Structure 1
Amino acid sequence: MKEAAKMATQEGKEKLGDFGGLSLRGRSFVGTVISSKMQKTVTVEWERKHYLKKYERYERRRSRVKAHNPESINAREGDVVKIVECRPLSKTKNFVVVEIMGKEKGFEERMESLEESKFKKEAKKKEDEDKAKEEAQKEASA
């Protein structure tokens, strides 16, 4: 009985591949890589639904975690990846990227629109500050 369980876990590890001696256990998620600017680390985000009992409706929530990005996999921004829990690798890193499942449609367009909205917010904030300065100068001169 115990031998069968050991064989099953060994087969599972072989299917997932070798990740530098990391034992993969626990939860696994599928999400999109939103940042790959760190060394051997990616930030993975996925959406989930959370039920609100009071309103009898669901809300969309996003989860973000940092995951180890092995050189053999080398996931980039916009990739849909599968991550699996492992031992803590650092203060914030408890997952490892196991496989790249494809590319997310519309990822680049979404990131571009986010950048545009940031610039618009900054420009509007600057205009508001300029108007406030002008009003303060008018009041001081009057």
Structure 2
Amino acid sequence: MKKNIGIEVKQPENTCDDINCPFHSNISLRGKVFEGTIVSNVFHKTVSVEWERRLKIPKYERYEKRRTKIRVHSTPCIEVKPGDKVKIMECRPISKTKNFIIVEKI
């Protein structure tokens, strides 16, 4: 079954029975979309994703690099490991610290 999740992404070939899967359940995605690298996957159905951003320092008229690291829900139908680049999208809160879901492996 092909489901439109709101953005143009490749559908996973595997199927799953996860209730928080954007492709095989009824969870809705809305809000921001980010691309980052998986840093850790030691948690059950959760990975840590990190990406760099540049912040301008007006006083010195220079930029500095900063990193953002968040916890993201990982569904069984999208197999990922540390070092993979992924696209994540915002959803309703899944737990105390998870508000994003992996939608595509890049």
Higher helix share: 1
**Structure 1 runs (4+) greater than 6 angstroms displaced:** none
Q: Find the aligned partners of 1:50 and 1:57 in 2 and give their Cα distance.
A: 8
Task: Identify the match of residue 99 of structure 1 among 84, 89, 104.
Answer: 104
Q: Find the aligned partners of 2:55 and 2:78 in 1 and give their Cα distance.
A: 32
TM-score by length of 1: 0.60
- Cα distance, 1:90 vs. partner? 0.4
Task: Identify the match of residue 81 of structure 2 among 76, 88, 91.
Answer: 76
| Aligned twin of 2:62 | 57
What fraction of aligned residue pairs are identical, expressed as a percent?
47
Gap regions ≥5 residues in structure 2: 12-22
SS at match of 2:101: strand
Task: Identify the match of residue 40 of structure 1 among 41, 45, 48.
Answer: 45
- Cα distance, 1:74 vs. partner? 2.2
Gap regions ≥5 residues in structure 1: 1-9, 102-142
- Cα distance, 1:11 vs. partner? 4.6
Q: Find the aligned partners of 2:36 and 2:104 in 1 and give their Cα distance.
A: 11
Higher strand share: 2
Which of 1 and 2 has greater Rg? 1
TM-score by length of 2: 0.80
**Number of matched pairs:** 92
CA 1:51–1:97: 2 relative to 1, 3 Å: same
| Aligned twin of 1:13 | 6
